[in-house]
């Protein structure tokens, strides 16, 4: 996976330039990057959600209940999309959680080259709104989300949310 969001800034171009005369601050105890893989099957959706929830608790990431619920919803939707739409070409998916001092970023990577789009679903349909939901939860939290191609020809879909939510 590309080095997306592993610096002090959650955006893909992030990494934050440090002035030559300043030392980077000492990382907070909850900062870091964690990655795990899972088979692209339905059972991986709740497993990924529980793994992310347990990580946030174990690392004592200072997330509000609303922010944690938003992150878990995003993880569920992104893993569900990978299972439903990419499993044929990508039997394994990767979930990454990156936590900085002021943000938390979740991403799901698969090896399918198709770049998904958020579709307006028919009200009678039971599915098809996952990426719209991810985009809306991210926006309401004051965060950013995007889809990037990987060097291996797949994609990574990510959402970064501030630990201190902004008022929209």
The answer to whether 152 and 162 are in contact (CB under 8 A) is: no
Length of the chain: 168
The DSSP secondary-structure symbol of 40 reads S
Q: What is the pLDDT of residue 5?
A: 43
Range 67-76 average pLDDT: 97
The average pLDDT across 34-59 equals 97
Instruction: Look at 47 and 17; give whichever has higher pLDDT.
Output: 47
CA distance 42 to 134: 19
Give me the mean pLDDT over the 135-161 stretch: 95
Q: What is the pLDDT of residue 26?
A: 82
Confidence at residue 10, expressed as pLDDT on a 0 to 100 scale: 59
Model pLDDT for residues 2-42, shown as the tens digit of each residue:
334 444 455 544 444 555 567 677 888 899 999 999 999 99
Eight-class DSSP state of 4: -
- Binned at pLDDT 50, 70 and 90, residue 155 comes out as very high
> What whole-number distance in Å separates Cα of residue 107 and Cα of residue 10?
11
Task: List pLDDT tens digits, range 92-138.
Answer: 999 999 999 999 999 999 999 887 765 455 555 545 577 899 999 99
Q: Distance from CA of residue 55 to its chain's centroid?
A: 14
pTM equals: 0.79
pLDDT of residue 166: 46
Q: Where does 5-115 show beta strands of DSSP type E? A: 32-39, 92-99, 103-110
Residue 147 near residue 116, CB atoms below 8 Å: yes
DSSP 165: P
């Amino acid at each position: 996976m590309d080095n997306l969001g592993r610096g002090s800034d959650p955006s893909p171009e992030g990494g934050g330039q440090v002035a030559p005369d300043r030392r980077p601050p000492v990382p907070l105890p909850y900062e870091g990057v964690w990655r795990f893989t899972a088979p692209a099957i339905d059972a991986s959706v709740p497993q990924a959600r529980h793994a992310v929830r347990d990580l946030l608790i174990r690392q004592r990431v200072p997330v509000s209940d609303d922010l944690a619920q938003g992150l878990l919803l995003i993880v569920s939707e992104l893993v569900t999309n990978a299972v439903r739409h990419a499993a044929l070409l990508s039997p394994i998916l990767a979930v990454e959680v990156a936590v900085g001092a002021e943000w938390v970023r979740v991403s799901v990577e698969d090896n399918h080259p198709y770049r998904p789009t958020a579709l307006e679903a028919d009200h009678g349909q039971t599915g098809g709104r996952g990426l719209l939901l991810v985009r809306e939860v991210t926006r309401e939290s004051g965060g950013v989300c995007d889809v990037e191609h990987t060097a291996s020809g797949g994609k990574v879909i990510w959402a970064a949310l501030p630990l201190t939510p902004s008022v929209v």
